[in-house]
Every structure is written in C-alpha cells, then in structure tokens.
Amino acid sequence: MTDAAPATAAEDVHDLRPPRNQWWDVWDQFKTHKGAMGGMFVFISILLFVFAGPWIWQVDPGLIDIRSRNQGSSWAHPMGTDQLGRDLLARMMYGGRISVAVGLAAMLLGLVLGTLIGVLAGYFKLMDGPLMRVTDLFLALPLLPLLLILVTLFRDPLEGAFGQAAGVFTLIVVAIAITSWMQTARIVRGDVLALKEREFVLAARSIGTPARRINTRHILPNVMSPIMVSATLGIASAIITESALSFLGLGFPPDFPTWGRILYDGRDWIEQYPARVVWPGVLISLTVLSVNFIGDGLRDALDPRIRGR
Amino acid sequence: MKRRTALMGAVAAAALVPGMVMADERERGSSGHLNVIYWQAVSTMNPFLSGGTKEMNASSIVLEPLARFDNMGELTPWLVDEIPTLDNGGVAEDLMSITWTLTEGLLWSDGTDVTSADVVFTYEYCTHPEGGCAYRDRFAGIESVEAVDDLTIRITFEDATPNPYLPFVGAGSPIIQQAQFAECLGARAPECTDENFYPVGTGPYTVADFRPNDVIQFEANPNYRVPTQPYFQTITWAGGGDATGAARAVFQTGEMDYAWNLQLAPEVIEQMESGGMGTLLVDFGPLMERIELNFTDPSPDLPADERATMQHPHPILSDIRVREALSRAIDRELLTEIGYGPTGRPACNFIVAPPAMVSPNNDDCLVQDMDRANALLDEAGWERGSDGIRVKDGERLELLFQTSTNAVRQDFQSLIQQWWREIGVEARLRNIDAGVFFGSDPGSPDTYIKFWADVQMYASLFEGTDPTPHLEQRRCGREPRPETQWQGQNINRYCNPEYDALWAELNREPDPERRQELVIALNDMFIQDFAHIPLVARGRVSAAANTLGGLSLNVWDSEHWNQAEWYRIED
Amino acid sequence: MFTYTLRRLAFAVPTVLVISLIVFLMLDMAPGDPTGSLPLTIPLEVREQIRAALGLGDPVLIRYFKWLHMMVIIEPSHMLANATGWNIAVDGPRILSWQTRSPVGDIIVQRIPQTLWVVGLGYVFGILIAVPIGVISAYKQYSWFDQAGTFVSMVGFSVPTFFTGVVFILIFSVWLGWFPSMYDTTHRVRDWDSFLFQVRQIAMPVAVLALFNASQISRFMRASMLDNLNQDYVRTARAKGMMEKTVLLVHVLRNSMIPVVTVIAIGIPTVFTGAIITEQIFRVNGLGDALIRAIYVSDWPMVQTITFIFAILIVLFNLIADVLYGILDPRIRYD
C-alpha cells in the first residue's frame, strides 16, 4: 500500500465504512502494476481508434480513387493508400473493428462454453468423467489444422445462411471458440471441485437451495478470478488466430480488410510500400501485447498471496 | 510481345559478338546447369493424371507428342517427318482418318525403339474407362487407333473431322512407353508411382529425382535424337513459395534462371525488373477474363431444379439494352492497368487469339461510355430511384455479382461495382473459394457452372489454335441443367439458332481462310448480342535470366517446347 | 507407475481413433472438390471420371476403415522398410494423395527432415536461450535484467510469428541481402561452404521461432524458479553454508526444471503444427507446407493423414510429459 498513514488510523476508517467490495482491492493492486496500466491505456486507445475513430475520420474504407493510388503518407491519407486508392487509415480502423470484434466475441463464447463445462463437470459427479474425456479429446486435437478444415468446410454454407460478412464472422468466431475453451473448463472444474466442499456451499445446500442457484449465487462469483484471467488471454489468442487464418488466405475474403488480411495482401508490396505490412502488424502486436499485460496484472491482482504486498 | 522481341534481339546481338560460343560450337551438356522455379510446385510427371498446366510443362521436356505448335502457333512435326495433310494424302479425302508416320530410328531414353505400338498404347491408356485421364477429350470422336506397321499409325474418326490435329498433338497429348506403363492401365494408373514420377520419354531430359510438390532433378537424355542437344546437362526444377519470391529469385538475386507464371501486380513487376538480372517474357494466348451474364433467372425463390434453367428467362438481363449498358460502363484500359499492367490487354472479343482469328469489329468497347450506358437504361424503362439506383415496375436494378476469391478479382469487383453504381445499377458482391467455384461437384450450389447468380467473372481459354470447340460451347442445348447433372459449358445459357447454324457451317469447313471468316462472324454475333462482357486478355508471364538464350515463349504449347535448344550466354 | 502408464496408454488409443474419425467425417462433408484446381479446358465429363477414379464413390464408413487400415498397418510398414532396408513392407493399396497420385507416406517422409531442421532447431535454440534467462531473471527478481527480460519475453510472445517473419525477410533478405529468400531442399552439406549456406538458409526461420519459443519457456522457467527460491529447503541449504552457486544451480535449478521439462515435452507437437505458418512465410518445403497446399487444392487424403499424425504426436507427448513428471518428481505418484 502506498498509504503512509498510521496503521491504526487506517483500520479505524475502514471499520466505519460499509464492507468494501473485494474488486476494489483488486483494482488497487492492479493499479500498482505498471505494465498492466500501460497495457490498459494502449488497449483502450486501440478500442477508441477502431470504434470511435471512424466518427472522426469519416472516409469510406471502400471508396476507390484511382488517381491517388499507391500513395505514401500525406495529410489527406495519413497512412497512405492502397493499390485502388482506398484510404489505409480508414481501412485500418474498419479492419481493426472486425479483428477486435472477432477477438471479443470468440473470447466470450469460449469463456461461456468453458465455464459451463467446467461447472457442470466440477459440480455434478456424474458428468465429470464424460465431460473431462471430451475436454482431453479436444486438447489432443491439432487445433490449427482443425481450424483450417473447419473454415474450408463451413464457410460457404454459413455464407449462404447469413450473408457473406455475418457468415464468415460467425464461422471464425465459433471455430476459434470451440477450439479454445478447454483450459478455462479445466481451471474452473478444479476450483469448483474445491469450492463445493466448502462450508458456505454446504450451508446453502442444507437449507435446500437448488443446484442452479448454488452455482449462480455461490460458486460462480468465486471462480470469477481465473475466468477473468483466461478472458484476457482468450482475447489475445483469438486475435492472433484470426490474423493467422487471414494470413494463410483462409480467413476473411479480400473485400473484408481485417488486420491479418491487410498484412497478407501487403506482403507482395513489401519492398515498395513496407508501411502496408508494418501498420497492420504493429496494430495486431500492440493489441495482443497490451491485452497480455492486462492479463498479467490481473493475475497478480487476483492472487491473494500477492495482493497487499 | 515488345519485351520478348527485346530479348530475342539481345540474343541475336550476343550471337554476333566475336569470341562467343557459336550455335554450332555448342554441344550436349556444354551449358552446364539450369535452375527453373515453379512457385506452384509440380505434383506428378504424368500429365494424364493431373491435367494441370504446371505438370504438363514439366513433363513436356520428357514426354513428347507426334507434333506440336511452335511459338507462332504453327503446327510443327516433332516425332514425325511431316505433318499429314489433305495435300500429301495423310488426311483422308472424306476427313474420316489421319495417318501419321514416325521418324525412323527414334529411341526412348532407355535405348529401346519407339514404335507405333507405343502410340496405340497411349490411346488405350488414356481412354480406359476407369483411368480418369485428364486429357481424354483429346481422343473424343475417335473410332479406332491402329498400328499399320512399326512406324505408321492410322486414326479413324466417327465423323468427318476437319481438324484432325487433336490426338497426339501438343503438350497435352504426349506418347508414353508401352513397356513401362503396360501394367498401369485403368484403376491401377495411380498406383504406378515410380512410372508416374519417372516416365521414360523421347524428350531431351530424363527425370533423375522427383519429389512431389517440391523439386525435380533432370538430366540430359543420352539417347536424344539430336546428338548436340540438349545444351544444359542438368536442370533443377524447384517448386514452392509464391510468385513474388520466384520473381525476386530471377530479377534480383539471380538464384534462378527461369520462373513461370508470375501473376503479380504491375508495380511489383516493374520494381522487380529494375533489379536488372532478368527479363519479363509476355505473350498472349486465348486466356481471357470475362463477365458472364446469366440469361436465365437464378432466383432462390424458384425450385432448385428450375433455378437458372431455360424455363425462366432472366427478368433483367434478357433485355439487350441492359446488357449493353453494363458493358459500356466498364473502363477496360483501367482494369488492365491496375490488375495486369504489361501482362494484360483490354479485350473486346470472345476469341482473343490467335491473331488471324480476332475480330477487328468490336474495338469501340475500349472507351468507357457512361452517357451511352445511361441512355440505354433510360430507354429500357429503368428510372432512377431516390438512392440513385434504378427501378422499374417496383423492382430495383440489383445484380448478384460472384467470382472466385482472388485479390485481383476482388479489386475488379470493387471497381466495376463503383462504375455500375454510377449508372444506377447496384451490384451485390460475393466471392467463393476457388476450389469450390471451379469445382465440378453437381451437389454444390456455388460452382460457376451452376451460375446461381446474375453475373460472374472468371477467366477461360481453349487448347491449341482451333477455337471451334470453344465456340461450340455456346450452342443451344449445351447449357448446364439438372437433366445433364449440370454438365455443359454454355455457362451463360445463350441460345441463338442463327449462331448454331453458323457454327455447324464452321464445323464442316476444311478451308483455313473460310474458317477464319466464320470464326470472326461467330465471335461478332456473340459479342454484338452482348451475351457476355470481355474484360482483359491475359498473357502468359514468365521471367528469364539475361544469361539464358534460345528460349521463346509459346502460348500454344508448353513453354518448354524447345527446352533442348536453351543455352547459357557466355560472356 | 507402470500400471498408470499402461492405463494412460490404453486411453490414448481410443482418443486417437475418435480424432481420426472426426477428422475423416469432417473432410467428407467438405465442399471443396479435387477437380476444382484443374484448368477449365478439361470438360466436365472428364472431371466426373477423375472423381470416380479417386474412389469418391464408396460410402464414407467403408472409406474410413480402408483408410485406417492403410494408415495404421500399411504405411508404417513401408516407412519402417524404407528406413531399415528390411523387407517387411505389407502389401496392399497405400494411401494415395489425390494431387500427386502417390503414397502420402512417401511425401511425409520427404518433408519431415526440413521441418525437423528448421522448426526443431528453433525449438532447441529457444530452450537454450530461455533457461539461463529464466534463471537469472528469477534470481535477480526486479533487477533491470529481470525487467528487460520480462518485457522482451512479453513482446516476443505477443508479436505473431507471421509478422516477425515478414519483418525479418524485409530487413535481412530484401534490404541487406544476407540470407536467401527461399529454402533449397536439395542442398546437401558436404563441406564448410555448403554448411555455411545451410546455416544461412535456416538462420531466419530458426531465429524467429527461437525468439517465440524462448519467450514462452523463459516465462515458465522464471515462475518455477521463483516458486522454488522461496522454499524452505533453499533456506536450509544456505544456512548449512553451501556455496550460492551450488544452491542455485544444483538444488533450485534441478527442482525448477521438473515442470519446465514437462512444458517442453507438451510443446513438441506444436513444433510441427506451428510450422504451418513459419514454413509458409519462409517458403520451407516441410510438413506444414504440405498440409496447407493440400488444403488449398482439396487433397483430403493428404490432409487427413497429416492431421492424424499431428494428433498422434499431441497425445503421445502429453503421455510422455505425464510419465516424465512422475519419474522426475518422486512426490507425485499416480497409483
């Protein structure tokens, strides 16, 4: 604690206040982690760039202006233009929106799936065996090849059902989610196994609380910390996976400029216009880096052994 | 063309410099080693089992046909002494048969004699019902192939055939050795891995080491019929990487001597060429990028077996004025400049090669004419709506525009979408994975053959120099439909009895000049009906190191048709 | 311990089988078509015959069992026969790639050396760099070395290899021209010069992979060292007056290596799967390259086989990691 006030005084103040939410302690601890704060700042800036940026930089990312193609940085086009004269800054914002949205959506879906399976396996003895076998099975699947196969398999049917944009988006999100929930499930299961023997759960059960309520009211809030940590790691790996897929030419089609796709398309031009590779690469790296730093800080902050030191 | 001429000039000039190794001083193996790069690697040395251009090119320096097309598109005797014609009696008066006579004394690379039995065997190999031979259509309409004597082969056709030069002609129809492949007929063909990877041939090279999809080592054939050739003793035929890497290896680092199929953005090519170590070779064949306009209604509201069939004409595109407007609104010069640069030419015709068969009558399409396009749509009764898109009888002028997933095609889609929007046509873009789009699975809704869209863009071509089969594809009744398991190549479902009659005339006509006129007439009929929109004629693009001599790019046959004559320019 | 290993092994076999069935069934539904990459000049009737010749007509389960038989019995026997020169190859049809019409096993055998050279070396170097960095970082916790090391490893682990790879190519191959831009599979190391060439052609991919792997492993190493440095036995050893060097390198390092060794073992299969992207960037004709090109042209037998091999590797190395853990750490016994 940075608070230099005498210990007794501080405790008195504490006693007078209503009990403090534990998340405030986490936040206090989190604030002391320089890397995490830096990561937070960068990540929020990137979110602002991709989601609020287009309000300020009102250029259509699809607008073709043949006369000003292949330009370098200028006031009209701060990041230059591509081979059809489309503004790269606008494309970077638009592409980032998709990349970040894929990261967030895939993380959420993977988290829900992982938590659900983890809680079910940990709480209900009957389901533990089969669910954990399934988890082991998924862990043994070669993920990247599987993802590639999933994408080639389902791209067209989904496009037909939802339209090109929504179809590919759904596919990539779902594919990433179902190949990344296993770690969360394992961690959650372990915590639930331990929690379910604790007195407060026994107490709740003894007064006849139904299983669903025990889980939502007592167990879930207590497994939030590992879930939060895997959430941040999930965003990072989802963004990398999406870019890798696009980079292999199997993710979003060329008319959906995600960062990975812009990087892939820019590879041919790397000698003349290195910026076309560097910008998306830097943005992907910064996003992942900042998210990883946040995850690090969060892990420290949520670890009661470290907290308060 | 210009670049190629420049290179030929350089070769000619080099030959005049005193102290040079003159052509007649060169001998087998004197040029040493050659490095070739195919960024799409070769997967087999048996062209019959692959059908791909890269496999055809690689195998063409080992396996040879009876005759092939030279770089001018002229038929040239290869394993025979002369081309059979009506005049020399090689082709029967009734056009029902053709008789080839092998050159005497030809040897396979293992030292055995080449006989007519090998030719007959090749026919049997490729037409075996279980073989899945990729060039089987070369042997369509043949009643029999028989060995008259050891050197003479007679091919008898089922019908009168004015162009009998399909079987055993060109890189797609080479001769394989009976002794080697005798056990590999039919279903056993793919199991003969050694035979398929190390075929015995008559060509200038033999395969020393073959690694599928990776690299091939060739050595000079000791039994090659020209004792002084081939000039290169060995060839490494590398594969893998991408077009940019291959171009860089020839132009900038000099690691490679020859690179194939460099479909790169014009600026990239220009930059590479400034490396100064190589020359770009471009020549134009029949390959043409086009937009097909659907004459039938692909609406998803129709039952699946009536969708995009002749029962339902297209509600918008059946009007020739709309079709013409769509074509007029396109700036082909700009498309070419952006997508292909020196490796493309704006196209206004259905048949864009060979030069003698290209119609001069449609060049007005080169100029983008928005006013004319707008006028045509006004005339057709399409009024501008509030958002700028035209409406008629409550229906918006909206088209589904599909193509395969490919960076250049998506650029073209965006550009064309913008131009069409200017004339009040909304294009909804869609791209489909190439493996699906060009696939032949009749169950897939997304193939270019099914054409469940209003317009679609792709490139197509024909083999050899005779466009007759290509023109035949657009006859009535050749359209893909459920009854034929969606087979057929009349992609846009064009049907015009006059066209059919004119084609029938072409198919009977033996006189070359009259044939040219008929081809042009058919082309004009098709184009002036605005039945499809030609965009860009795409060249074959390869790159050669400046130290490489003797080569001439050939769009009618394998690029390596004269591999034996390639040599190293010494300095 | 032995029964535990057996039990794990017994579970591994059905896992692998289920995975193979999943992959097979999924590919069976795939929309891509092996004739899709053929030139348009080949008419549809001929394409239909090509599809029939590829054996696409049989029901899916029959094809699965045929494939499994070939995969489990025939292909390994051929590989073994080729490797040893014994005449033990089992007769029978082999798994044929649709694209090359040749046995998939032969292609895989040709591709493995490149993958092992490039990606394997990247892994080995990664470990060699990571261990000392992790040890020093933990020992001098919060020093500038630790701060810098943690930051660099964080960066190395966050920046995707496809970006570092492209940047490396731009700098070292295009601008500086130090390294060749493509991998030459036919190159044989015969003398000093050819050895140097081999070093140059694998330098960039190995560096990129080593950086990435080192970042990951050094984080583990550091955490594991920190856990052990706070243990009582360390205090005891120091109290006995042991040299600091002995305490650190003998006692702490040895104990800290236990979890790290298992992490390394579990990571080995990713050497192969991770190769997909690296090989793509540096144009190395390895296993990952074979897989991705097979996916592009819908060569399903090839895709199935390589994916299956990856699955076997993952299951196998997980097993090895578990067993290794039990052997290295006597406190943990599974029975």
Between strands B455-460 and B398-404, the pairing is: parallel
| Contact residues, chain A, for B411 at CB < 8 Å | 83-84, 254
Triad B225, B226, B227: Cα angle to 5°:
105
Q: How confident is the model at residue C190 (pLDDT cuts 50, 70, 90)?
A: confident
Q: What is the pLDDT of residue B454?
A: 92
Whether the pLDDT of residue A11 is over 60: the answer is no
Between strands B142-147 and B97-101, the pairing is: unpaired
* A62/B271 CB distance under 8 A: no
Closest in B334, B410, B418 to A255, CB measured: B410
Contact status, residue B180 vs residue B197, Cβ threshold 8 Å: no
Rounded to whole angstroms, the Cα distance separating B199 from B178 reads 11
pLDDT digits (tens, 9 = 90+) for C84-95: 777 766 666 777
**What does the domain layout of chain B look like in residue ranges?**
285-464+530-539
* A293/C154 CB distance under 8 A: yes
| Lookup: tokens for B242 | 């991408």
Kind and range of the H or E run holding B371: helix B370-379
Q: How confident is the model at residue A263 (pLDDT cuts 50, 70, 90)?
A: confident
Beta bridge partners of C179: none
Q: Which of A34, A144, A261, A269 to mutate to test the interface with C (most CBs of C within 10 A)?
A: A144
Better-scored residue on pLDDT, B242 or A261: A261
Omega of the bond leading into C14 within 30 degrees of 0 (cis): no
Compute CA A206 distance to the chain's CA centroid, rounded to the nearest angstrom.
38
**Closest approach of chain A CAs to the CA of C246, in angstroms?**
29
**CB count, 10 Å around CB of A211?**
11
C117 conformational bin, left if phi > 0, alpha if psi -120 to 50, beta if neither? alpha
| Lookup: tokens for B452 | 């469940």
List residues of chain B with CB under 8 Å from any CB of chain A: 243-244, 264-265, 267-268, 271, 334, 338, 405-407, 410-411, 413-415, 418, 429-433, 435-436, 444-446
Task: Tell me the three state secondary structure of residue B298.
Answer: coil
Rounded to whole angstroms, the Cα distance separating B215 from B237 reads 6
Contact status, residue B278 vs residue B543, Cβ threshold 8 Å: yes
Better-scored residue on pLDDT, C315 or B420: B420
**CB count, 10 Å around CB of B111?**
9
Q: What is the pLDDT of residue B378?
A: 92
Q: Is A59's Cβ below 8 Å from some Cβ in C?
A: no
Beta-carbon contacts of A107 under 8 Å, excluding residues fewer than 6 positions away, are: A231, A234, A235, A238
Rounded to whole angstroms, the Cα distance separating A284 from A43 reads 11
| Contact residues, chain B, for A148 at CB < 8 Å | none
Chain C, 302 to 321: residues with Cβ < 8 Å from chain B are none
Closest in A84, A156, A255 to B436, CB measured: A156
The chain B residue lying nearest A264, using CA atoms, is B407
Q: What is the pLDDT of residue B2?
A: 42
Q: What is the pLDDT along chain B (571 residues), one digit of tens a residue?
A: 444 444 444 444 444 444 444 555 778 888 889 999 888 888 888 888 877 788 888 899 999 999 988 888 888 999 888 888 888 888 888 888 888 988 888 889 888 988 888 999 999 888 887 777 778 778 888 888 888 888 898 889 888 887 888 889 888 888 998 888 888 887 777 778 888 889 998 989 999 988 888 889 999 988 888 888 888 999 999 887 778 888 888 888 788 899 988 877 787 888 888 878 888 888 888 889 999 999 999 887 788 788 888 889 999 999 999 999 999 999 999 999 888 888 889 999 999 888 888 888 888 888 899 999 999 999 998 999 888 899 988 888 989 898 887 778 888 998 899 899 999 999 888 877 776 777 766 667 778 888 888 999 998 888 778 888 888 888 888 888 887 777 778 888 898 999 999 988 888 887 888 888 999 999 999 999 998 899 999 988 888 988 888 888 888 888 888 888 898 887 6
Closest alpha carbon to C30 in C62, C3, C56: C56
| Contact residues, chain B, for C180 at CB < 8 Å | 253, 255
Rounded mean pLDDT, A24-34: 79
> In a 10 Å sphere around its CB, with 0-12 CB exposed, 13-18 middle and 19+ buried, how is residue C310 labelled?
buried
Q: Which of C41, C114, C169, C296 to mutate to test the interface with B (most CBs of B within 10 A)?
A: C41
Q: Which of B135, B440, B473 to mutate to test the interface with C (most CBs of C within 10 A)?
A: B440
Q: How confident is the model at residue A3 (pLDDT cuts 50, 70, 90)?
A: very low
* C38/B52 CB distance under 8 A: yes
The chain B residue lying nearest C97, using CA atoms, is B190
Contact status, residue B532 vs residue B350, Cβ threshold 8 Å: yes
Better-scored residue on pLDDT, C156 or B440: C156
| Phi, psi dihedrals of residue A227, rounded to the nearest 5° | -65, -40
Which stretches within chain A are classed as H helix?
7-16, 22-32, 34-47, 53-56, 88-123, 125-140, 143-162, 164-178, 182-196, 199-206, 211-213, 220-222, 224-247, 259-266, 275-302
Size of interface B-C (CB pairs under 8 A): 173
Using CA atoms, how far residue B343 sits from B71, B254, B282, B288, B462, in Å, is: 17, 22, 6, 12, 19
Better-scored residue on pLDDT, B22 or C324: C324
| Contact residues, chain A, for C222 at CB < 8 Å | none
**CB count, 10 Å around CB of B225?**
17
For the domain made up of B285-464+530-539, give the CATH fold.
Dipeptide-binding Protein; domain 3 (3.10.105)
Triad B515, B518, B523: Cα angle to 5°:
125
Q: Is A263's Cβ below 8 Å from some Cβ in C?
A: yes
Rounded to whole angstroms, the Cα distance separating B244 from B569 reads 26
Rounded to whole angstroms, the Cα distance separating B246 from C301 reads 29
Compute CA B329 distance to the chain's CA centroid, rounded to the nearest angstrom.
28
Residues present in chain A in total: 309
Omega of the bond leading into B354 within 30 degrees of 0 (cis): yes
**Closest approach of chain A CAs to the CA of B431, in angstroms?**
7
**CB count, 10 Å around CB of B114?**
24
Closest alpha carbon to A302 in A96, A101, A23, A107: A23
* C31/A152 CB distance under 8 A: yes
| Phi, psi dihedrals of residue B139, rounded to the nearest 5° | -105, 15
Closest alpha carbon to C89 in C97, C98, C99, C79: C79
* A285/C295 CB distance under 8 A: no
* A145/C291 CB distance under 8 A: yes
Q: Which of A151, A156, A276 to mutate to test the interface with B (most CBs of B within 10 A)?
A: A156
Rounded to whole angstroms, the Cα distance separating A122 from A186 reads 9
The chain A residue lying nearest B244, using CA atoms, is A268
Whether the pLDDT of residue A9 is over 60: the answer is no
| Lookup: tokens for B334 | 């700009």
Place of tokens 């909206």: B398
Q: What is the pLDDT of residue B144?
A: 87
Q: Which of B137, B138, B214, B487 to mutate to test the interface with C (most CBs of C within 10 A)?
A: B214
Triad C261, C262, C266: Cα angle to 5°:
120
When mean pLDDT is compared across A232-241, B494-503, C59-68, C258-267, the lowest value belongs to C59-68
Q: Is B434's Cβ below 8 Å from some Cβ in C?
A: yes
Q: What is the pLDDT of residue A257?
A: 80
ipTM above 0.85, yes or no: no
Q: Taking each helix axis as running N to C, give the angle between helix C2-28 and helix A143-162, from 0 to 180 degrees, rounded to the nearest 10.
A: 30
> In a 10 Å sphere around its CB, with 0-12 CB exposed, 13-18 middle and 19+ buried, how is residue B562 labelled?
buried
Q: Which chains touch C (3 or more CB pairs under 8 A)?
A: A, B
* A157/C155 CB distance under 8 A: no
Closest in B215, B440, B444 to C31, CB measured: B444
Beta bridge partners of B391: B383, B396
| Contact residues, chain B, for A153 at CB < 8 Å | none
* B487/C48 CB distance under 8 A: yes
Rounded to whole angstroms, the Cα distance separating C242 from C331 reads 24
Q: Which amino acid makes up residue B466?
A: D
Beta-carbon contacts of C221 under 8 Å, excluding residues fewer than 6 positions away, are: C130, C131, C133, C134, C135, C137, C138, C256, C260
Q: Is B460's Cβ below 8 Å from some Cβ in C?
A: yes
Q: Which amino acid makes up residue B423?
A: I
Q: What is the pLDDT of residue B249?
A: 83
Rounded mean pLDDT, A95-113: 91
* B242/C53 CB distance under 8 A: no
> In a 10 Å sphere around its CB, with 0-12 CB exposed, 13-18 middle and 19+ buried, how is residue B509 labelled?
middle
A103 conformational bin, left if phi > 0, alpha if psi -120 to 50, beta if neither? alpha
| Contact residues, chain A, for B433 at CB < 8 Å | 152, 155-156
Between strands B426-432 and B398-404, the pairing is: parallel
Residue-by-residue DSSP string for A87-137: BHHHHHHHHHHHHHHHHHHHHHHHHHHHHHHHHHHHH-HHHHHHHHHHHHH
Which stretches within B232-316 are classed as H helix?
243-251, 266-273
Q: Which of C118, C178, C182 to mutate to test the interface with B (most CBs of B within 10 A)?
A: C182
* B193/C297 CB distance under 8 A: no
Q: What is the 3-state secondary structure (H, E, C) of C207-255?
A: HHHHHHHHHHHHHHHHHHHHHHHCCHHHHHHHHCCCCHHHHHHHHHHHH
Q: B379-403 in b/e burial notation, b at 16+ Cβ within 10 A?
A: ebebeeeeeebbbbeeebbebbbbb
Beta-carbon contacts of C322 under 8 Å, excluding residues fewer than 6 positions away, are: C8, C262, C334
Q: What is the pLDDT of residue B449?
A: 83
Rounded to whole angstroms, the Cα distance separating B146 from B116 reads 8
Contact status, residue B273 vs residue B280, Cβ threshold 8 Å: yes
Chain C, 157 to 216: residues with Cβ < 8 Å from chain A are 157-160, 162-163, 166-167, 169-170, 174
> What one-character DSSP code corresponds to residue B458?
E
